[in-house]
Amino acid sequence: MKRISKKIAVLLILVLSTGLIGGCGKQFDAAAYVKALLDNSYKNDSTAFVEQKLGTAEDAAEIYNQGLEHAISDILIDEENESFSVSEDLLKEYRNTFETVFSKVSYTVGEAEKQEDGSYVVTVSYETMDVFSNAMEDYDVKVAEWTEQLSADAIAGEAFPEEEELYNTLFVMLKDCINDAAANVGYSEPQEMTVRVELSDGVYAPNQSDIEALEYHLLGLYK
């Protein structure tokens, strides 16, 4: 699940960096810009994204949907980068799960300070959710119990499930644990970090490392 954190950073840089040109006659609001990106990417709220002309409603939907797809695909990739095969129905269920989780991230975008080079530093207050840490604890317990049951069944002479059935059961189990944790989400005390909005060749773009770090903190994912 640690790979999830790269999804938004990469998408924002690729899709948005060509759309924000500095010096176009009106004052650039870096704080509003960062909030628009976060609201769209997590809350699926494209209102400010469109109003600030960062892109169309279709562009906003593409960023949000691709973010979900990246997050889900990261769950379904093993350590050798091989993708596990699961049913379309289970993929839809995972999408619903991550829509719920992302909607519950907690952040407040504060002041933006302009730098000498024309870039900005935006302060973001956030509260780290405990969804994934709690889900993984629950998941480990359930997997241990299930493994013990499989062993007992095998000793009793029952057929061992096929590989596809094994993985499907594990992924359903993980999804259910994430859903349970999201339904009872808790948060850390508020903390702050900064996000740089950099200016290069007249184009504003969020710093990829900062966006990635923010997502680690929001979702409670750590390297």
Q: What is the pLDDT of residue 22?
A: 46
Q: What is the pLDDT of residue 25?
A: 46
Q: What is the pLDDT of residue 23?
A: 41
Torsion sign (Cα): 206, 50, 123, 9: negative
Closest C-alpha among 106, 222, 131 to residue 185? 131
pLDDT tens, position by position, for the chain (223 residues)?
Answer: 544 444 455 445 444 443 454 444 468 899 999 999 999 999 999 999 999 888 899 999 998 998 888 888 887 765 555 567 778 899 899 999 999 999 999 999 999 999 998 899 999 999 999 999 999 999 999 999 999 998 888 888 888 888 788 888 999 999 999 999 999 999 999 999 999 999 887 788 899 899 989 999 999 986 4
3-state secondary structure of 156: coil
Answer for the pair 121, 204: CB distance below 8 angstroms, yes or no: no
Closest C-alpha among 137, 123, 126 to residue 188? 126
Query: Quick one: DSSP state of residue 21?
Result: B
Answer for the pair 124, 108: CB distance below 8 angstroms, yes or no: yes
Answer for the pair 66, 43: CB distance below 8 angstroms, yes or no: no
pTM of the model: 0.85
| Helix ranges (DSSP H) in the chain | 6-16, 30-43, 47-51, 57-75, 88-103, 131-155, 163-183, 208-219
Q: What is the pLDDT of residue 165?
A: 85
Q: What is the pLDDT of residue 167?
A: 85
